[in-house]
Amino acid sequence: MQFALNEDQLAVRDMARDFAAEKIAPHALRWDEEKHFPVEVMREAAGLGIGGIYIRDDVGGSAMTRFDAALIFEALATGCPTVSAFISIHNMASWMIDAFGSDPQRQKWLPKLCTMELLASYCLTEPGSGSDAAALRTRAVREGDHYVLNGQKQFISGAGSSDLYVVMVRTGSDGPGGISTLVVEGNTSGVSLGANERKMGWNAQPTRAVIFENARVPVANRLGDEGIGFKIAMAGLDGGRLNIAACSLGGAQTALDKALAYMKERKAFGKRLDEFQALQFRIADMATELEAARTFLWRAAAALDRKDPDASMLCAMAKRFGTDVGFEVANQALQLHGGYGYLSEYGIEKIVRDLRVHQILEGTNEIMRLIVARKMIEGAR
């Protein structure tokens, strides 16, 4: 078990935190208001090795661990959870190509994905299937050397700006065994986009439907064999769940820091807010919950790195706990600001809006409970 960071891990975390403070945080409120997707800033981050964190180094990846990634995404999220979360999704989609793709596929796409010259999106959710991912209906019918795709993916982060879409499609019968994974290039004929969704948060990245109408995709773009797509999707989500929990903790840490600074300045009834014992207790509880979530996140990341048999369950636990704690801490920080917390200029309400969706995506927190319960019941038999 690891309860302290070594010098290399501290350097990785501090590098990401410094980048977030200098390049992301000063612009986060404007990006949110203007719905600006800061691609050039993300490419600067990729120059530090953040575009392919756990991608193998023969294609330009940083070959770091999931533990390192958790440190990086939390640090980036102190500047903006939305930007950090998209970089996480890009890394997840790229990792699927690295882990399951052939060497020609890896050499074709990953060098430019690691620099973020190319952006990647992950396409699993559909209008009629979210939590029940195995019920997806987007179909790919093979015709010679191509698949013909028809269907629609919903809530796709980066859609419209991404160059590659890692898409889960049905190539066989109903259920998880009939799903395969295709890498679809964004300029493919027959691929179109829905409108940029108007959202509660996550405004610094676009979210659109991706629509396939007789889109022809080469069979050479399939990752692995037919029928293993659900396995690929779930493997990607283990790491994605850790990353989104890390993004929640980074955003919540910034909210807590802002609350502490505000309480030192604001007075009520002749005393600074940080002199009231009731508010001191609240701050103590917020910090304790964050530290507990962070410690558990590290444990789950270490389990995934060593391919622990319980890694998927621990990732689900860490995602559920980390995103719930992150949102609650940010919400409490808003409350400690009183009416000022509700104003956009203080930056707290943006964090609350951004973190709310983390309890839904990468598998809802209800589904995380289901994963944990099934594992426990299975182990008790």
β-bridge partners, 143: 146
DSSP 324-371: HHHHHHHHHHHHHTGGGGGSGGGSHHHHHHHHHGGGTSSS-HHHHHHH
Task: Identify the CA nearest to 363 among candidates 155, 176, 167.
Answer: 155
- Cα separation, 151 vs 323, whole angstroms: 31
Instruction: Name, in order, each residue with C-beta under 8 angstroms of 9's C-beta and a sequence gap of 6 or more.
Output: 67, 68, 71
- Cα separation, 304 vs 67, whole angstroms: 9
Name the catalytic one among 126, 289, 349, 362: 362
- Cα separation, 132 vs 191, whole angstroms: 24
DSSP 42-90: HHHHHTTT-TTTTS-GGGT-----HHHHHHHHHHHHTT-HHHHHHHHHH
- Whether 166 and 97 have beta carbons less than 8 Å apart is answered as yes
- Cα separation, 206 vs 223, whole angstroms: 26
Q: Tell me how crowded residue 48 is: count the other CB atoms within 10 A of its CB.
A: 14
- Cα separation, 358 vs 74, whole angstroms: 13
- Whether 31 and 40 have beta carbons less than 8 Å apart is answered as no
Q: What one-letter code names the amino acid at 105?
A: Q
- Whether 62 and 12 have beta carbons less than 8 Å apart is answered as no
Q: What one-letter code names the amino acid at 265?
A: E
- Cα separation, 120 vs 280, whole angstroms: 44
- The yes-or-no answer on residue 197 being catalytic is no
C-alpha 307 chain-centroid distance: 20
Write out the catalytic residue numbers: 362
